[in-house]
Structure formats: C-alpha cells, structure tokens
Amino acid sequence: MEQLYIIASLWLGLAILSAIIAYHLRISIALVEICVGVVAAAVATYFGKADALGSNLEWLRFLASSGAVVLTFLAGAELDPDVIRMKLKEVSVIGLIGFFAPFFGCAALAYYVLGWSSQASWLSGVALSTTSMAVVYAVMLETGFNRTEFGKGILGACFINDLGTVIALGILFAPFTYKTIIFVVASIAVLTSLPYFSDWLTRIYANRTAAIRTKWVMFILFGLGALALWSGSEAVLPAYIAGMVLAGNAARDVFWIRRLRTLTIGFLTPFYFIRAGTLVSLSALISAPLIFFMLLGGKVVSKIFGLYPFIGLFRQERNERWYYTLMMSTGLTFGTISALYGFSHGIVTQAQYSFLVATVIASAVIPTLVAGAAFLPRHLLPTADELGSIELQDAGPSEEG
C-alpha cells in the first residue's frame, strides 16, 4: 500500500509540473502531460529504473483507461445539438473529408512507402485521421470562438471527424463474433433509453442525492466499457456515443458538466496522457527521424489538400478558410487512444507506436501555432461586451447532482 501511494504521488507531481508548464507556454495540458511522460520514462530508463514509474501496474492502467473513457464522453457531451442541426451540411461534408483524406492517405503512406504491415498501416490511418477535440475546444474557449457560429461549426466538424475515427477503430480491429452482436444490441438499447432515464433521474433525485448524475454516468460508462472489452472492442467507443446522446441533457446544466470536467482533467486524464508518453521510445525516434517527418507530412498535407477546397464552399474569406483547415489538421486525444489501442493489442510495434504518438503530438502543436499566428480571423472574434452578455445568460441556479 505504501508503494501505491508513492507512485500515485509521483504521477500527480508530474501532473502538477505539466499544468505549470502548460500555463506558461499557453498550450494544451494534455500535450504537455504526454511530453512530460516521455521525458520521465527516458530519465527513469537512463538510471536503470524503468519499472519505477509503474506504468503497467493494473490499478494505474485502470485510472488511465477511466480517464480516456470519461474524456471521450465529455467530448461528445460538449457537442451543441442545435449547431449540428443548423449546419448539418457543412459539418458533415468537412468532418467526413477530414476523416477520409488522412485515413486513406496515411494508410497508403505507411503500407507502400514505409513498408508496414496492412494491419499496422490501417491503424496508422485511423490514428492520424483524427482532429483534436481537446486542442480545438481549448483554442475556441481561449479566443471566444466557441460562442460564435464560426467556432461552433468547427467544433461540429471535429465531432463528425472523430466519430468516423471511433467507428473505423471498432469496425477494422474489433473481432466480429456473437459477443459483438450482444455488445451492439445492448449498447443500442442502453443508449436509446439513456436520455429518458437520465432526465427522470435528474428530475426526481438531483436535488436530494449528492452527485447522483455523476454516479449514474460513471455507472453507464463503466458498464458499457466492460461490455465493449468483453466483446473484444475498446471501452472508449460507446463512451463517445453516450456523450453525444446526453449532449442536450448536459447543455441544460453547464455547472454539472464543469464539475465532471474538473474531476476528469484534475485527476483521471493525467494518468492517461502521462502513461501514453511513458510508452514512447525515444531511441526509436532518434534512430529514424525521417519516418516521423514523413508521417507528419502525410497527415498535415492530406488534411490540407482534402479540406481546403471543401471549406471554400462554406467560407469565402482567406483567413477563415486557412484557420478552419489548420484547426481540423490538429490531432491528440483520439490519435493517442487509437495508437495505444494498436500497441496494446499487438497491431503495431513499440517503435511504430512511438512514431505515431510523436506525429500526433506534433500535429497538435504546429497547425495550432500557425493558425493562431498567421490566419486568425480577427473580424469574427466576439467583443468583450458580447462575451459578457453571453456569460450572464449562462449563469444561473444549478441542480446538485
């Protein structure tokens, strides 16, 4: 038990260090946590203490997996259903192109140029097809675009893009057996009835029982996650859909979703992202840097050439088109989830996993920096008065639970 507390305190110390670095560099905390994990593993290995971090301990893997599951749920729950309905054509076209262009482009690059196996190549296509909801959402919050029609459209397209990634990961790599049928049927039954029972539970018990909605959501996520793992799939797959179907419920009480976000980002996700970093092999990256640059170029170039012409159908102003395109070219959360799934299931080697995660990290940083520095559409930024007015509208009594 003493060793457990020592390891937990070490990891939370790394999480605090990551938060301080992220604050001063003004970049995504998830990105910093992965990088801190890479450095921590390299230092531990240098001193011959590679196992001291405890990355493969069962309890730590559970906390990391829980972080990925709840973060995935939050990504779906942050979706604005009204935006999807209002801008259905735009978000569908851009989201689907944003998925398929790098999916096929990066898979072909890995198979025909890098000589990876077909399974590893398809996994690389899935991992590099993503758009980082975490990075994009953080940027939208920082700029205020999340309150505008422009920013909401980007977030909606990110959702469609990542939904394609989630579905592809399940279809391509989950074994199809009778367990799969049970999982699909049970998930449909649970997810279809989830909004009704969640509303009922909130209406009757939210003001009387402490945090019952959080307990209810975690119960559903862990139950569906267990069923997904039993069927040979991944626990994050039903979590995204669960977040999507509860988006309307979450939108009615922003304070509850903020509390759940605090629990997730403050405690759970550091274990996931730092652990993902500890599994990266720096020696593999140093020995073959050309592979990293080829994968990064394949992801960003395929995103740009695929998306820019179609974004031009909906956005005529040059900065708007480039900013939209570069935001859709980022990747982080689902990219690392997909890469880690491939490594955990023996689809990719540790070296291939390292290249994929390094590419995902770089794609989270470079397009974001370029978009903000060179193509920020300042004419669409909300004024201080507009932001203040919106905050007043959002403020209000919140149910406990």
Residue 33 belongs to domain with CATH number: 1.20.1530.20
pLDDT at 226: 94
**Is residue 399 one of the residues assigned to a domain?**
no
Per residue of the chain (401 residues), give pLDDT as tens: 788 899 999 999 999 999 999 888 877 787 788 889 989 998 998 888 878 888 889 999 999 989 888 988 887 787 777 777 888 899 999 999 999 999 999 999 999 999 999 999 999 999 999 987 777 877 887 788 877 888 888 988 988 898 888 888 888 887 778 888 999 899 999 999 999 998 888 888 876 667 888 899 999 999 999 998 898 777 887 888 898 888 877 767 778 888 888 888 889 989 988 988 888 888 878 888 999 999 999 999 999 999 999 999 999 899 999 999 999 998 877 888 889 889 988 999 989 998 998 898 888 878 988 888 889 998 888 776 555 555 444 444 444 44
Sign of the Cα pseudo-torsion (128, 129, 134, 137, in order): positive
Distance CA 372, CA 383 (A): 18
**Is residue 352 one of the residues assigned to a domain?**
yes
Neighbours of 180 (CB within 10 A): 16
The candidate with the shortest Cα–Cα distance to 80, out of 197, 244, 242, 256, is 244
**Is residue 245 one of the residues assigned to a domain?**
yes
**Is residue 324 one of the residues assigned to a domain?**
yes
State the number of CA atoms in the 13 A half-sphere of 155 facing the CB.
27
Neighbours of 96 (CB within 10 A): 17
pLDDT at 398: 44
The candidate with the shortest Cα–Cα distance to 376, out of 157, 154, 128, is 154
**Is residue 400 one of the residues assigned to a domain?**
no
Give me the number of domains the chain comprises.
Answer: 1
Neighbours of 21 (CB within 10 A): 16
**Is residue 401 one of the residues assigned to a domain?**
no
Sign of the Cα pseudo-torsion (234, 235, 240, 242, in order): positive
Range of the domain at 229: 2-50+58-394
364-400: string of b/e by CB count within 10 Å (b at 16+)? bbebbeebbeebbbeebbbeeeeeeeeeeeeeeeebe
pLDDT at 283: 81
Structure tokens at 400: 């406990």
Structure tokens at 356: 């994929």
pLDDT at 364: 81
The candidate with the shortest Cα–Cα distance to 161, out of 107, 97, 105, is 97
Rg over alpha carbons for the chain, rounded to the nearest Å, is 21
